[in-house]
């Protein structure tokens, strides 16, 4: 396989450095509009759909997509776009299930949902799985960054007479250090605005590359006719080859990947939570998936398609044996002029860094929220003031970010031996998402789903997944749809089907046998030596799980051990976990969204559809929790005292940057004026004399 080094010119490197500086300054400028990170992500709820839509582009497109989809475009043609065009099937579940729940229940992280919906132990296990998922994602990000940068670097450099070779892992370690510096200067609080700009730039850079490529080849007709028929098809062959087939990728990406991305990507969820209301979040998701993703599919894959066409017409310029993960850089260098190539590479690497930064900070946030604080609470070591605690948590968050970055670099080792980033990412998604995906999905849509079932999904499901990974030819093969097993990387994609099925199976069986578990536990509770029985049960559970985890004995013994895990875990959870189905599901399942809205508002929602009104602000001292409109304006909005209101600067292009949420207070008689306090004015970043727009929320 042909690999490249020292691609690019000095001009390209200058353009890259300037680009990074401009992006950091842009982010820092908008960062000043925010009081703190927590307010920005969780309490702000201020932004319009279009702003969030564009900021999501950098999260979705920026993260490894250019490298991995160009690679598959080069190997297999336009079907590289299929993973971008299969996200619509779960959108009803997201728009009318998960999205309103995360907004109205005010959860700050996915593990927190597990605690509220199930139990602290479910939260603990969800935290472990989510941290593994996030760290793995960071590892994929670093691997892609390394693969993107390596072709631009020389094979070796000389310092003090010593020649040091540049290796992938060496480059990744340097990138990890630079990423840490980028976090410090770029600032997480400005990430939405940085991503907004980068979203536009990425789309522009990708489409520009396509235009240059088509021009280079002599027009679209020539390009299209150069591609063989099977390369023009939008979907891959049903079940071959093993490293890129439709059915495997359907289960890995359209099912596990789509639910994983929409339901458990903490970075993405933070974006939706920053929307001014649930409806704006729905608009952001709909526009992103319907219109931005198809454009993104062209943007991220076209370098591979162009590379393939060039390799057909001029194999001396682009050899068919070019390493697929390098094709993006190789093609960009051939068809873009010096400087422009630097711009494209800068857009790619900066977006990748932004994605990795977002993931590192989100992972650190999960660590603080779901590990550090619960542990502190458990050991009751909280004899300090709020300021002291904030300072301590900030310090711990910084250490956590460093630790997460280091673990992310280590995670690269698990993926670097895959032939392409695409396959590494596919394997990663197929393996790590199913337990959490099943846990969240059934938690939201099945009220009867119990803590015993979710914990068994996490433990028993994982045990079955380990068995599948260890004996793919026996356990995954029945589900392989005719895909040939590659012994080096068996069933990278279709394992998602097996993993999802075993996790769902564990969840459903345990839920449906809840009454039996309760009967058995009730009998045990009636015994005098109940504690001893339970201690023995826990010890046996750990022992049988260890048999599977550490690959002790033959397959039949491990299967028996897994069955034992599936029986003992639910019993143990039923004994130890206090759970009230009605209390624990209130406002946390799709069937109780109206209760969630009620809890969110603190009263009955007012769904009468009123008009928006334009008002000027008048500063008055008074209650910070309410704002006051005239009787007439409230009538126009069909609002009552106590309803929720959203006030924003009328200039739509600000995207809700200057806005507040509040509550309607007692009305006055000054039409076209809202009475708000100086603090509310400051919080909303409102300017005297500017027209404000007010709308009743509920």
Partner 1 sequence: MNFSHTWLPFIYLYGLGGILFVSGIIITIKSGSFDLSRKAHKKWMWVLLFGFVWYLMMHALMTWAALDIISVYSVPIVLLGMVVVFIVVTLMLRKTGGA
| 155 touching partner 1, by CB under 8 A | no
Binding pattern for the stretch 282-311 against partner 1, x by CB under 8 A and - elsewhere: x---x--xxx--x-----------------
Residues in a beta bridge with 619: 676
- By beta-carbon proximity to partner 1, the closer residue of 230 and 488 is 230
Query: Considering only residues 550-589, where is the footprint of partner 1 by CB under 8 A?
Result: 589
Could you give the 3-state DSSP secondary structure of residue 663?
strand
Continuous segment of H or E residues that includes residue 26: helix 10-31
Closest to partner 1 by CB, 29 or 89: 89
DSSP-based helix, strand, coil % in the chain, nearest 5: 70, 5, 25
Range in contact with partner 1 (rule: CB under 8 A) among 29-37, 246-254, 334-342, 532-540: 246-254
Burial 276-291 (b: 16+ CB within 10 A, else e): bbbebbbbbbbbbbee
Three-state SS at 627: strand
Q: How far is CA 604 from the centre of its chain?
A: 33
Q: How far is CA 290 from the centre of its chain?
A: 18
Q: What three-state secondary structure class fits 34? A: coil
CB of 87 to partner 1, least distance (A): 9
Nearer to partner 1, 250 or 328 (CB): 250
Minimum distance from residue 228 beta carbon to partner 1 (Å): 10
Residue 86 touching partner 1 (CB under 8 A): yes
Write down the least CB distance from residue 346 to partner 1, Å.
30
Which element (helix H / strand E) includes 695? Answer: strand 692-696
User: In terms of CB distance, is 448 or 525 closer to partner 1?
Assistant: 448
Q: Does 501 bind partner 1 (CB under 8 A)?
A: no
Single out the residue of 511, 501, 500, 497 nearest to residue 456, CA to CA.
511
Q: From CA 305, how far away is CA 71, in angstroms rounded?
A: 9
240 φψ region: left (φ > 0), alpha (ψ -120 to 50), beta (else): beta
Q: Of these, 254, 322, 364, 571, which contacts partner 1 (CB under 8 A)?
A: 254
Of 56, 78, 335, 476, the one binding partner 1 by CB under 8 A: 78
**Residue 267 beta carbon to partner 1: minimum distance, rounded to whole angstroms:** 24
Q: Do residues 183 and 360 make contact, with C-beta atoms less than 8 angstroms apart? A: yes
Return the residues of window 607-626 that contact partner 1 according to CB under 8 A: 607, 609
Question: Strand 673-676 and strand 613-619: pairing?
Answer: parallel
First vs last C-alpha separation in the chain = 61
Nearer to partner 1, 28 or 279 (CB): 279
Helices 327-335 & 65-76 angle (0-180, nearest 10): 90
For residues 45 and 314, give the distance between their C-alpha atoms in angstroms, rounded to a whole number.
53
Which range touches partner 1 (CB under 8 A), out of 193-201, 279-287, 347-355, 458-466? 279-287
Does 590 interact with partner 1 (rule: CB under 8 A)? Answer: yes
In this chain, which of 66, 133, 142, 250 binds partner 1, going by CB under 8 A?
Answer: 250
The widest CA-to-CA distance across the chain, in whole angstroms, is 86
State the binding string over 95-114 for partner 1 (x if CB under 8 A, else -): xxx--x--------------
Q: How far is the CB of 294 from partner 1 (least distance, A)?
A: 7
Backbone angles phi, psi at 526, to 5 degrees: -75, -10
Is residue 279 a contact residue for partner 1 (CB under 8 A)? yes
Q: Which residue, 79 or 127, has its beta carbon nearer to partner 1? A: 79
Query: Considering CB under 8 A, how many residues would be counted as binding partner 1?
Result: 44
Report in angstroms how near the CB of residue 289 gets to partner 1 at its nearest: 7
What 3-state class would DSSP assign to 619?
strand
Query: x/- site string to partner 1, residues 202 to 241, per CB under 8 A?
Result: ------------------x---x----xx-xxxxxxxx--
| Binding site residues, partner 1, CB under 8 A | 78, 85-86, 88-93, 95-97, 100, 220, 224, 229-230, 232-239, 246-247, 250, 254, 279, 282, 286, 289-291, 294, 445, 589-591, 593-594, 607, 609
């Amino acid at each position: 396989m042909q690999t490249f080094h020292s691609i690019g010119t000095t001009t390209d490197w200058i353009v890259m450095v300037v680009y990074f500086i401009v992006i950091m300054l842009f982010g820092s400028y908008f960062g000043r509009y925010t009081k703190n990170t927590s307010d920005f992500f969780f309490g702000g709820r201020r932004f319009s759909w279009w702003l969030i839509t564009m900021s999501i582009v950098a999260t979705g497109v920026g993260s490894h997509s250019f490298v991995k989809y160009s690679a598959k475009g080069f190997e297999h043609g336009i079907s590289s776009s299929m993973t971008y065009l299969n996200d619509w099937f779960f959108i009803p579940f997201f728009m009318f299930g998960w999205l309103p729940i995360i907004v109205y229940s005010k959860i700050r992280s996915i593990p927190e949902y597990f605690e509220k919906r199930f139990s602290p132990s479910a939260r603990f296990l969800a935290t472990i799985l989510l941290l593994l998922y996030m760290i793995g994602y960071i590892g994929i990000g670093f691997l892609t960054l390394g693969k993107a940068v390596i072709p631009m670097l020389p094979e070796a450099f000389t310092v003090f007479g010593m020649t040091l070779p540049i290796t992938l892992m060496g480059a990744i370690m340097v990138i990890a250090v630079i990423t840490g510096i980028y976090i410090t200067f770029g600032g997480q609080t400005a990430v939405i605005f940085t991503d907004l700009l980068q979203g536009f730039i990425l789309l522009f850079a990708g489409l520009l590359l396509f235009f240059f490529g088509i021009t280079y080849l002599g027009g679209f007709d020539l390009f299209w006719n150069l591609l063989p028929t099977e390369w023009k098809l939008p979907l891959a062959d049903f079940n071959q080859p093993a490293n890129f087939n439709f059915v495997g990728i359907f289960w890995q990406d359209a099912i596990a990947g789509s639910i994983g991305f929409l339901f458990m990507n903490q970075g993405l969820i933070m974006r939706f939570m920053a929307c001014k209301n649930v409806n704006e979040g729905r608009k952001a998701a709909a526009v992103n998936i319907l219109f931005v993703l198809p454009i993104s599919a062209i943007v991220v894959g076209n370098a591979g398609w162009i590379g393939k066409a060039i390799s057909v017409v001029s194999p001396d310029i682009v050899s068919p044996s070019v390493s697929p993960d390098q094709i993006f850089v190789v093609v960009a260098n051939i068809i873009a002029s010096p400087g422009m190539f630097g711009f494209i590479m800068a857009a790619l690497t900066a977006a990748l860094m932004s994605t990795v930064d977002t993931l590192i900070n989100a992972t650190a946030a999960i660590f603080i929220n779901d590990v550090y604080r619960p542990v502190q609470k458990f050991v009751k070591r909280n004899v300090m003031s709020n300021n002291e605690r904030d300072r301590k948590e900030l310090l711990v968050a910084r250490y956590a970010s460093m630790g997460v970055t280091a673990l992310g670099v280590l995670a690269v080792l698990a993926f670097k031996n895959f032939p392409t980033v695409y396959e590494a990412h596919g394997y990663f998604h197929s393996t790590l998402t199913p337990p959490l995906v099943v846990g969240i999905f059934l938690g939201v849509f099945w009220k009867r789903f119990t803590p015993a079932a979710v914990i068994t999904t996490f433990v028993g499901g994982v045990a079955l997944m380990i068995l599948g990974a260890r004996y793919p030819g026996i356990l995954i093969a029945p589900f392989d749809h005719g895909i040939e097993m590659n012994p080096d990387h068996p069933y990278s994609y279709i394992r998602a089907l097996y993993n999802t099925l075993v996790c769902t199976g564990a969840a459903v069986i345990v839920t449906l046998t809840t009454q039996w578990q309760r009967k058995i536990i009730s009998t045990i509770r009636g015994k005098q030596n109940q504690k001893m029985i339970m201690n023995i049960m826990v010890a046996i559970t750990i022992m049988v799980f260890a048999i599977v985890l550490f690959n002790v004995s033959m397959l039949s013994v491990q299967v028996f051990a897994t069955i034992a895990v599936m029986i003992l875990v639910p019993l143990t959870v039923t004994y130890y976990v206090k759970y009230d189905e009605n209390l624990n599901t209130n406002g946390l399942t799709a069937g109780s969204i109206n209760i969630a809205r009620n809890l969110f508002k603190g009263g009955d929602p007012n769904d009468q559809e009123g008009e928006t009104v334009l008002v000027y602000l008048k500063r008055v001292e008074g209650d910070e929790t309410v704002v006051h409109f005239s009787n007439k304006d409230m009538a126009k909005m069909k609002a009552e005292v106590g309803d929720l209101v959203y006030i924003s600067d009328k200039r739509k292009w600000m995207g809700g940057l200057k806005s507040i949420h509040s509550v309607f207070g007692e009305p006055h008689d000054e039409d076209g004026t809202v009475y708000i306090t100086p603090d509310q004015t400051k919080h909303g970043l409102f300017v005297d004399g500017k027209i404000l727009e007010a709308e009743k929320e509920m």
